[in-house]
Chain A
Amino acid sequence: MNNRNNTISQGVDWTIIWLYAILVSIGILCIFMVEYRTDTNWLQTFLSGKTNYSKQLIFAGVCAMVATFILLTDSKLFTAFANLMYAFGILLMLATFVLGKNINGSKSWIPLVGGFNLQPAELCKIFTALALAKFLSRQETDFTKLRSQLIAAVIALTPAVLSIAQHELGLALVYSSFLIAMYREGLPAQILIFGSSFAVLVIATLVVDPNTLAIALTAIAALILFVLRKQIKKSKGLLVLIIGIWLFCVGTQRFVVPYIFNNVLECYQSTRIYSMVGKEYDCSKNKKSERKAGEKAARKPDDYNVRQSKIAIGSGGLTGRGFLKGTQTRGKYVPEQHTDFIFTSLGEAFGFAGCFAFLCIYLFLLFRIVKIAERQRSTFSRVYAYSVASIIFFHIAVNVSMTIGLFPIVGIPLPLISYGGSSMLTFTILIFILLRLDADRQMVLR
C-alpha cells in the first residue's frame, strides 16, 4: 500500500471503466448535437459553461472525482453503512415534501448551492440496492421464505411509494427492477414471469391493435401447443393450462383492459395513458363521460412527443444523417431532447447502425456486470451487482422503448447519456461501488 495509484487500480475491472467513459463521452456529444447552433461559436459557448453540454462535462468531472473517492474507500464501509444510508435516503425523500422545489410539475428536487438541484429519489436507488444486498446477505435470511420475500419487497417498494407521492412515476417504476435481482436470489420464477407477462400484455393492449394482438396471442398459443404436443398427449392438464392462459390473456386484452379504461377510469385519465403511447383514446366509449355528456369536449390527445420522437428516429434510416446534420434535432422538434429523449438525437444522426452499436455497448456493459456479479464470493456483492445491472437495464429498456413508441412516456433518463447531474452521479456511484466491491472480491464480506 505504498503506491496510491496501485491501490486504486488494483483488481479494478477496467473494461467497465472504459465502457463507462465511452458512454459518458457519447452522452456529452449527444447533448452537444442537441444544443448546437450553426450560427454560434460553439467553443465560446462551451467555455462559457452556460450550455447543457458544458454543464454535463462539469458533472462528468465531479463524477470522476466521486468515482476516485469511492475507489479509495474501503469496501467494508458499504456493508457497514448500508442500512444507515437507506434510512438517510428515505429521510431525504421525505424532506423533499418540505424543502422540495417544483421542477416540471414534480416536487422531488432539493435545491443546492450554485443553482444545482438534487433529486433524492435518484440517490435512493443506490441506498436501496445496498440495503437490499445487505438484507439478502444476512446469515439469517432465507429467501425461500415468504416473510423474507415480503421484507425485501418492502425495502424496494418504500422509495417507490414515496416517488409516486412526488409524482415521479418513472422513478417509482425503476424500483420494480429489483425483482430481477431478487429473482437471481431465489424469488420464484412464476412471480417474475407472471408479473412481467401481465405488464407486457397490458402495454401491448395499449400499443397494438386489439385484433392484431388477439391473433398474435392465438398464434403464440397454437405454437406452444404444437411444440408441446407430445407432453400434452401425456397430460391433459397442460392443455387446459395453456388454453386457460390463452383465454386469460385474450380476455384481459379484449375485455378487462377496455373495461377498465372505459368504465373505471375517467375520460381524461384514459386519454392521458393512451397518449403516452401516441394513440388516440375515443372518449365516446367512456361510460363516465357519457353521463356527463355535453359538459366539455375532451381535448385532443397530445401525442406530439411520441410522434416527433418517432419521426426523428425514423428519419435516421440505416446510416443516419450524420453528426450535427439532423434536421429534427436542429429544429428542436423533439421536446426534452437533451434529457429523456436524448436517444432520438442519436437515432437521427447515426441511424440504425449507430443505434445498434450503441445498444451493443449497453448490452456488453450489462453482461459484463452480470459476469462480475457471478464471480463474487459474497452474497452482498452479488446482490448489489445484480441490482445495478437491473437498474441500468430497466432504465435503458424503458427509456429507449418510450422513444420508439413501445412504452408509455414516463420520465426516465438514459443512463450516463441523458443530461442531468443527479442521474449521472447516481449511475457513477452505483457502478463504482460495484467496482470497489469487485476489486475486493477476494474478501468475504457476507
Chain B
Amino acid sequence: MPVFNQSRARIVQIIFAVVFLVIVGQLINLQLFSVKYKLAAENNAILRKIVYPDRGIIFDRKRKAILENAISYDLQVIPSEARGVDTAALCNLLNIDTAEYRKRIRELIFKNGYVKPGIFEPLLTVEMYARLNENIYKFPGFSLTERSVRTYPYNAAGNVLGYIREVDPTYLKTHKDEGYQMGDYAGMTGLERYYEKVLMGTRGVKNYIRDNKNRIQGAYENGIYDTAAVAGKNIHTSLDVELQKLGEKLMSNKVGSIVAIDPKTGGILCMVSAPTYNPNYLTGSQQKKHFADLLLDPRLPLNNRGLTTYYSPGSTFKTVVGIIGLTEGVIDLRTTVSCPGYFTGCGTGKPKCLDKGVFDFKDAVAHSDNSYFSTVYKRLLEESKYPSTDSALVGFNVYANSFGLGHKLGVDLPFEKNGLIPTAQNYYKEFGRKIYPCNLISNAIGQGKINTTLVQLANVMSIIANKGWYYTPHLVDSIEGGDEYGMLEAYKVKHYTDSRIPENVFNSVQDGMQAVVEYGTAVRSRIPDIVICGKTGTVENYYRGKKQPDHSFFGAFAPRDNPKIAIAVICENSDQGARVAAPIASLMIEKYLKDSIRGPERKAMEEEFTNKVYIPPLMRQAIAKQDSLKRLKENQQLMEQKLNKKETEGDTEEDNLKEEPVEQDGIVPAQTPTKKPVVPAAPQKKKPGGTVATLPNNDDKKYKRSAR
C-alpha cells in the first residue's frame, strides 16, 4: 500500500479547488462586470411592440359617422403548421389556383420564415370571411385575424376627409420628433392630415418576450413596463353629408367645385370637388395601385378644387366692387350707366356686355352689366383723394382684403391657396412703373389678375349675407374630449369687413342679388318659397390663345332674411353661369333648407344636371391620349404574342407578318379612340339600376355613381 502518496490527496483537492476558482473568476467576469451580456439579453429577448390605437371617428353635423374604423379580417398562416393542408379545398374557397397558393406560401416563408405567422390574404370580403370562418378548422395553420381599417360609410367627401397612407422617408424627415416610423400610417390629405395629431391618438408600447425564432412567448414582467394606447379623439364637423352627396352627384361628369358655408358659424356644409373619387378606393390592400391610378388621371381627382385651385371669380366679384363703390360714394343707387354693347370708358371696346341698355345699380347687378362695374372700378381708381392709381389700388385692396380675399382664410384643410388681389407691383412687368386704371379694367368684372379660391368666394357670399362679418370657414366644430392643441381657437373669432362699409350698402347689394334670381340672369333657378340672393359669373378662358368653353360660376346665399347657407359653385369649361352653376346652387340650397328636392319639375332639373357632361376639351384630349397609349401598348403586347406564336408555328404567314407592324405604326396617339366615343353634350345612355352616366373612361369603380 503506497502510503507515501498520502500527501497527494491534498494536492488533488487543491487542483479541484483551483479549477473551481478559475470558473468562479470567469463567472464574476461574466455576471458581475460585463454589462454587455445583459444588454444583449434584452435585445435578444424583449420585443417592443407598438400598439396602434383606433383613429378618431369623423362625424357630420347630424352626428352621422362619415369616416370611421371597420374591422377587417386577414387570413393568416403559419407555414410550418400548414403542411398537409387540403390545398385544393382552400384554393377553391379563395378562388385562386394551387400555383398561386404555393407562390404565396413561398413568398411568406422568404419574408417571415417558417414559424412566424404571415398574412396570406389581406382584407377579406364579408362573404369570403363568412365562408372561411365556417371552414377554417379544416386548415391547420390558417387563422383569421382582425385589423382595423378606415372606412367611409357614405362613399363621400374623399377630398375633404382625405386618406391615410404609409409614411414615406420624406414624411419621416419632416415629422422627425413625432415618433413615426416606417410602416406607420398617417393622414396625407384632408382632415386626416390637418387633424392628424387629434385623430391619431397616443400609441402604446407592449413589451413581449420572444424566443429564438421570434415567436412571442408572453408579456415581459407581466406588462409593468407597458403603456396603454389611447384612442384618437372623435371630431364633429359641420359637413352635411346628404348635401355633400347631392353635390357630388350633381357634379358628376363635370369638373369644378361646390362650397357651402353656414354664414352664422362659418361651418362648411359641403365641399365638393369634381371629379372626385370613392374614398374607400384608397383603403385596403390595393391602395398603392389605386393611388397610382388616381394620380395619373388627367382629371386630377385627388385635387381639392374647393381651396387648392385658383379661379377668376368672374362676375360674382362684381358684388364686392359694387359694395366698395357704394361705400366710397363713387356711385349711388340711382347712378346709371348705359352700355352700347361694350365698355366705353377706356376706348378699347372691352369688356363687352351682353345686355345693351341703361342700368341702375340694382339692374346692373341683376343683369351683370360689365360696363356698369367697369365704370365703378375706373371711378374708384381715379378718385381724387388718391394721388395715383397705385395708391387707389391700395385703397381698393384694403376693402377687398377685409372680405377675406387675397390671402389664406385659414380653413382647416391642408394646401389652401392664397388667391390674389393684385397690387400695383403685379403690373409693373406688363405695363411698367406707371399704370393706368384702364390697364386694370378687367379686374372690375372678376377677371384679369383677380384670383380666388372657391372657399373665398363662398365666404364673400357669407359676408354679404351677414352684412359685414364672418367666421373663418372651417370644417370641424368640436373635438370630443376637448381641443387639446387649440386648433379650433381661430374659428371662434368674429371677423368684420372694413368698418367704413355701412349696413345699407349690404342691403342694396342684397337687393341686387335678389333681383338676379327674381328676374335677372339666374331667373331659371328661382325657388318660389325661398328668397335666394345670388350672383352669376361667366368666365372666359383661353388655352394657348384658343378660346375654351366658359367657366360657369354662381355665388348665392339664402334665405335673405335669416341666411342659413352661403354657397359658391364653379363648373369648369361648361357654359354661362346662369345655365349650369346657378341651377346646381339652387338645387343645393333647396336640399339644405327644405331637406329634399320637391316637385317633379325640380326633380327633373336634378336629373338633368346630374346627367350633363362637361369634361373640359383639354382633359378629354389627355384622357383620349392616355387611353390610346394604353391601347397601343395592349396591341403591341398582343402583336408580340402573335409574333411569338407564329414563329413557333412556322413561316407560313410571313407576308402578313411584315404588314402588321406597319399597320401598328399607323395608330397615332393623338387620334381619338374609336373604342369609347365621347359625346360630351348629350346625356349618355343610362345604365340599369339608376347609375349615373359614366365617364369616357370605363373605370367606373373609381368614380361615383351616387344615385341609389
Binds A, one of B30-38, B234-242, B355-363, B691-699: B30-38
19 other A-B residue contacts (CB within 8 Å) besides A313-B31, A327-B45, A333-B44: A38-B218, A39-B218, A313-B27, A314-B37, A314-B40, A317-B32, A327-B41, A327-B209, A330-B45, A330-B209, A330-B217, A331-B217, A333-B45, A351-B31, A359-B20, A366-B16, A379-B1, A404-B23, A405-B30
Tell me, yes or no, whether B638 is within 8 Å of chain A by CB.
no
Contact in complex: B12, A331 (CB < 8 Å): no
Task: Give the shortest distance, in Å, between A346 (CB) and chain B (any CB).
Answer: 11
Contact in complex: A367, B16 (CB < 8 Å): yes
Binds B, one of A180-188, A218-226, A286-294: A180-188
Using A327-B209, A328-B45 as known contacts, say yes or no to A356 and B38 having CB atoms under 8 A apart.
Answer: no
Task: Give the shortest distance, in Å, between B484 (CB) and chain A (any CB).
Answer: 38
- How distant is the Cα of A184 from the Cα of B7 in the complex, in angstroms? 9
Tell me, yes or no, whether A37 is within 8 Å of chain B by CB.
yes
Contact in complex: B37, A313 (CB < 8 Å): yes
Contact in complex: A331, B212 (CB < 8 Å): yes
B→A interface (CB under 8 Å): 1-2, 4-6, 8-9, 11-13, 15-17, 19-20, 22-24, 26-28, 30-32, 34, 36-38, 40-42, 44-46, 209-213, 217-218, 220
Contacts of B19 in A (CB 8 A): 393, 397
Contacts of B13 in A (CB 8 A): 366-367, 370
Contact in complex: A186, B23 (CB < 8 Å): no
Contact of A327 among B26, B27, B46 (CB under 8 A): B46
A→B interface (CB under 8 Å): 37-39, 143, 180, 183-186, 189, 308, 310-318, 327-328, 330-333, 347-348, 351-352, 355-356, 359, 362-363, 366-367, 370, 373-374, 379, 386, 389, 393, 397, 400-401, 404-406
Contact in complex: A184, B5 (CB < 8 Å): yes
- How distant is the Cα of A401 from the Cα of B26 in the complex, in angstroms? 9
Task: Give the shortest distance, in Å, between A233 (CB) and chain B (any CB).
Answer: 28
Contact in complex: B38, A38 (CB < 8 Å): no
Residue of A331, A332, A352, A356 with highest tally of chain B CB at under 10 A: A331
Contacts of B34 in A (CB 8 A): 314
Contacts of A316 in B (CB 8 A): 31
Contacts of B220 in A (CB 8 A): 327
Task: Give the shortest distance, in Å, between A405 (CB) and chain B (any CB).
Answer: 7
Contacts of A328 in B (CB 8 A): 41, 44-45
- How distant is the Cα of A42 from the Cα of B37 in the complex, in angstroms? 30
Task: Give the shortest distance, in Å, between B43 (CB) and chain A (any CB).
Answer: 9
- How distant is the Cα of A393 from the Cα of B24 in the complex, in angstroms? 15
Contact in complex: A347, B27 (CB < 8 Å): yes
- How distant is the Cα of A400 from the Cα of B21 in the complex, in angstroms? 12
Using A330-B217, A370-B9 as known contacts, say yes or no to A400 and B31 having CB atoms under 8 A apart.
Answer: no
Contacts of B38 in A (CB 8 A): 314-315, 317
23 A-B residue pairings within 8 Å (CB atoms): A38-B218, A186-B4, A311-B37, A318-B31, A327-B44, A327-B45, A328-B41, A328-B44, A328-B45, A330-B217, A333-B44, A347-B27, A356-B24, A359-B20, A363-B20, A367-B13, A370-B13, A370-B16, A374-B9, A379-B1, A393-B19, A400-B23, A405-B30
Contact in complex: A180, B44 (CB < 8 Å): no
Contacts of B26 in A (CB 8 A): 401, 404-406
Contact in complex: A352, B41 (CB < 8 Å): no
Contacts of A363 in B (CB 8 A): 16-17, 20
- How distant is the Cα of A404 from the Cα of B19 in the complex, in angstroms? 13
Contacts of B11 in A (CB 8 A): 183, 189
- How distant is the Cα of A356 from the Cα of B16 in the complex, in angstroms? 15
